[in-house]
Chain A
Amino acid sequence: MQLILVAFTVVVGLAISVGLYFGLNAVASRAPGPWKSRLQPAVFLGPVIVIVSLFQIYPTLKTLYLSLFAISGAEYRFVGLGNYRDLLSQGSFGQILLNNVLWLLIVPGATVVLGLAVAAFGQRVHPMLSRCVKSLVFMPMAISFVAAATIWRFIYAYSAPGQPQVGLLNSAWISLTGKSPQAWLTIDDGHLNSLLLMVVVIWLNTGFAMVLLSAAIQSVPEETSEQARIDGASERQTFWHVVVPQIRTTIIAVLVTVLITVMKIFDIVFAMTGGAYNTSVLGFEFINQFFTYGNPGTASAVVTFLVLAVVPVAVYQVYTYRNQEVLR
């Protein structure tokens, strides 16, 4: 029964959307003379522009606006930069910013390095093995963050000393060093627990980097590597000085994409540590402030930091896009 209701809702939703376009088109076709062609762009682009303005652009601007208020329930009190001052004066928020910086520095780089390594090595082995390896390395991309959190929490699991260890890391730790088991996710010395979380995200995203870099490597003209070898370069030199420079744009594109993913991180932190033990990041703290503490104003201020971090990336995206358009 529920299934039928659901199918019905879905079909109705889609029918309305398709109907919208046919309706718009009908109106535009009946318009007199020159208006007919002028309205065409509105028919095709109108809905997207409206939706994106309404649900992406306007809300983002409003969030920036809300960050200037202290909000509790329905009461809005203008505090200007008060929320920001409060946040920055809290040591814990400074740690959150530091965590974000660490994430942004480590994860994209590590993902690209691993992805490049697998892509490069994959080029030089039997195609069957290569395909198999790439498939398996890529597979974690299909897993939800929550499932990944499950998998890795299990690896990092801790049982009291003397109890049998079910977590792989603790078992290896005990065998290799003979010391007592650790509750790894609670250790924030040297941001160890954050690093452990980063391992999960690297595990999830390396496949993506590998796929793109592999495609890029394969599109590098053979002649350039051949020429280098004829000139006396070793495989390693050929790779680093001939192939890699030619895939520079892809490397940067992958770095940027993973960077954006890292900025949005919420699920991993939420499911693995709940933000405790100094693992919180901006994407998580936002939810924390909004739902747990009921502070939409503070939450908006937190997310504004994210917006500030994202703006240079957006500018860069547009910049590269314009350059590519020029070449087209």
Chain B
Amino acid sequence: MSATIAAEAAPQRHAEQAINTSRRPRRNRRPLTSLFLVLFTVAWVTPLVGLLITSLRPRSEATRTGWWTAILSPWSSEWTLSNFGDAFASLDLASNFVNSLTVALPSTLLPILFAAYAAYGFTFLSFRGREPLFAVIVSLLVVPIQTALIPILQAFIAVQELTGIQVVGTYPAAWIVHATFAMPLAVFIFRNYMSTIPKALIEAALVDGASHHQVFWRIVMPLSTPAVASFAIFQFMWVWNDFLVAYIFIGDTRPVLTQALFDLLGQYSEGWQQVAAGSFITMAVPVAVFFTLQRYFVQGLTAGSVK
């Protein structure tokens, strides 16, 4: 139906548009599309809303009625903040938050350092085998951690037995694994970005007597800050939300927040209100990072995939 109407209106529309194209803004504020998007978004965030409401209800209510009833009759429902307090204690938030931070910071900074150096090498140094080597790095982007997990664990255990230094169950074990698997992506993103820096700038500095190392720290790195920032945010959030690596390489000695939440989830029979509160607490940091630094996060994603 809309097609025929559109066909009939076409000649007039063409005339209008041919005249107005350059002046009228592209967006047409279509009401039907807008309504659809609004409804879609409401449905989209419903799971989160449900969880939020549940986290504010006392156990007696949360186990008796669905959270939607609380929305429909907010005045006659009981609300409480005590679940957050309980969850704080169950998650052992104070120490586990620090654990998560301890894993996430070096796991973000280390790959940036290593990958930046490598990206510089791929961009500004010429040597035999440069392109094939980069192709190898690109191909490693797809390797899942599971494929390397057992031998890495075995290696760590072997080192432990050989030297008596504990490896599995410590932070460095997680740092190494996270850093390694972030490197292909980081090298890829940084190299793409660094190749947009004018080579003339580098050559001028080299001619003036600077070493590559100096050029790296004084010229290229400062200019690459946007790419570094984007990747840093992306990687930090990824590691903060990680479960598998922490579960296997750190274990129960110093659990991170995702592990703590997983244990809390196992207790849902006690009532979802506490699990709900716990989830929100663990989501606080990444969601805050997301909203404040959204622009860089998006840049980081598009840098890696869109040409």
Which residues of A are at the interface with B, using a C-beta cutoff of 8 A?
2-3, 6, 9-10, 13-14, 17-18, 21-22, 25, 29, 38, 40-41, 43-45, 47-49, 51-52, 55-60, 62-63, 66, 118, 121-127, 129-130, 132-133, 135-147, 149-155, 157, 164-168, 171, 203, 208, 211-212, 215-216, 219, 222, 226, 229-230, 232, 234-236, 249-250, 253-254, 257, 260, 263-264, 266-267, 270-271, 283, 286-287, 290, 296, 299-300, 303, 306-307, 310, 313-315, 317-318, 321-322, 324-325, 328
Answer whether residue B110 sits at the interface, using C-beta atoms and an 8 A cutoff. Answer: yes
Residues on B with C-beta less than 8 A from A49 are 118, 133
Q: How many positions in chain B have a CB within 8 Å of any CB in the partner chain?
A: 121
Residues on B with C-beta less than 8 A from A254 are 305
Residues on A with C-beta less than 8 A from B67 are 166, 168
Docked pose: A219 CA to B305 CA in angstroms: 14
B117 touches A232 (CB 8 A): no
Docked pose: A140 CA to B44 CA in angstroms: 9
A41 touches B34 (CB 8 A): no
From known contacts A230-B14, A266-B146, A318-B135, infer whether A125 and B183 are also in contact, taking CB-CB under 8 Å.
Answer: no
A154 touches B50 (CB 8 A): yes
Contact of B66 among A2, A59, A168, A300 (CB under 8 A): A168
B213 touches A234 (CB 8 A): no
> Within the complex, what minimum Cβ distance (angstroms) separates B71 from chain A?
12
Q: For chain B residues 87-132, which have a beta carbon within 8 Å of chain A?
A: 95, 98, 101-102, 105-106, 109-110, 113-115, 117-118, 120-122, 125, 127, 130-131
Docked pose: A151 CA to B272 CA in angstroms: 10
Residues on B with C-beta less than 8 A from A250 are 305-306
> Within the complex, what minimum Cβ distance (angstroms) separates B188 from chain A?
9
A51 touches B302 (CB 8 A): no
Which residues of B are at the interface with A, using a C-beta cutoff of 8 A?
2-3, 6-7, 10, 14, 17-18, 21, 26-30, 33-34, 36-38, 40-41, 44-48, 50-51, 54, 62-68, 95, 98, 101-102, 105-106, 109-110, 113-115, 117-118, 120-122, 125, 127, 130-131, 133, 135, 137-152, 155, 171-172, 175-177, 179-181, 183-184, 187, 195, 211-213, 216, 237, 240-244, 258, 261-262, 265, 268, 272, 275-276, 278-279, 282-283, 286-287, 289-291, 294, 298, 301-302, 305-307
A150 touches B279 (CB 8 A): yes
Residues on A with C-beta less than 8 A from B137 are 52
> Within the complex, what minimum Cβ distance (angstroms) separates A327 from chain B?
8
Contact of B301 among A167, A168, A212 (CB under 8 A): A212
Ranked 8 nearest A-B pairs via Cβ: A44-B121, A144-B241, A59-B148, A59-B151, A142-B290, A48-B118, A62-B151, A55-B180
- The total of Cβ contacts below 8 Å across the A-B interface reads 335
A48 touches B115 (CB 8 A): yes
> Within the complex, what minimum Cβ distance (angstroms) separates B24 from chain A?
12
